[in-house]
Amino acid sequence: MRLNRFTPQQLSSEQQLLYDKIAGGKRAEGRQLFRLVGDDGALEGPFNAMLLSPNLGFALQALGAAIRYGSRLSPRVREGSILMVASRWNCEFERMAHESLALDCGVSSAELDAIRAGGSPTGQTATEQAAFEVSKALINDSDLSDEEFERCSALVGQESIFELTTLVGYYSTLAMQMRVFRV
């Protein structure tokens, strides 16, 4: 790792506020399927790096919370798309954290295998399949062709395309940060 783990005793007041928002916020509610805080008290995965710049960290964690808890994407589409990003970037933390969430919301083990191999889940409905097609195009091409946009827009709507674009960008950002800092 290129980044020291920030334990609570080392934090500035700004960092402590961000730490508390992440460790005690929405992500910490309910059943925990992955660890937010390690045995040493430091935040896990991308959250520790967010402490390097609390102003940006607050914005990033708020965007992540909005994607996970405030978007209209179904849990299957959200978690499947996150894992597609994790596969593209070979991001172990995202994979570890979100595979358990994906299984919990109905993504099958066979679909997880397909995602790990660079594919996508099999949509249970035409709308869900279109959403996965959007994610795959964004991950592979960073764009949608006019034909893809029109077809998928008719099935999932422009709001979902916006949310998927935001999801792919956000989780790609986290994956890049974790890659650079060897998290």
Q: Tell me the per-residue pLDDT of 63-108, one tens digit each, with 9 for 90 and over.
A: 999 999 999 999 999 999 999 999 999 999 999 999 999 999 999 9
Report the pLDDT value the prediction gives residue 108, as an integer from 0 to 100.
Answer: 94
Report the pLDDT value the prediction gives residue 25, as an integer from 0 to 100.
Answer: 82
Q: Which long-range contacts (CB under 8 A, 24 or more apart) does 157-160 make?
A: 159/72, 160/72, 160/73, 160/131, 160/134
- Structure-token pair, residue 156: 């999932």
**Residue appearing with tokens 């195009």:** 137
Report the pLDDT value the prediction gives residue 33, as an integer from 0 to 100.
Answer: 79
Q: Which residues contact 22 (CB under 8 A, 6 or more apart)?
A: 28, 36, 43, 47, 50, 61
The Cα 47–Cα 173 span in angstroms is 12
Instruction: Set out the domains of the chain in order of their start, with CATH numbers.
Output: 8-69 (no CATH), 73-181 (1.20.1290.10)
The Cα 167–Cα 10 span in angstroms is 31
| pLDDT tens, the chain, 183 aa long | 899 999 999 999 999 999 999 999 888 887 777 889 999 999 999 999 999 999 999 999 999 999 999 999 999 999 999 999 999 999 999 999 999 999 999 999 999 999 999 998 887 899 999 999 999 999 999 999 999 999 999 999 999 999 999 999 999 999 999 999 999
Q: Which alpha helices (H) appear in the chain, and where do they start and end?
A: 13-23, 46-50, 54-70, 75-89, 92-104, 109-116, 126-141, 146-156, 158-181
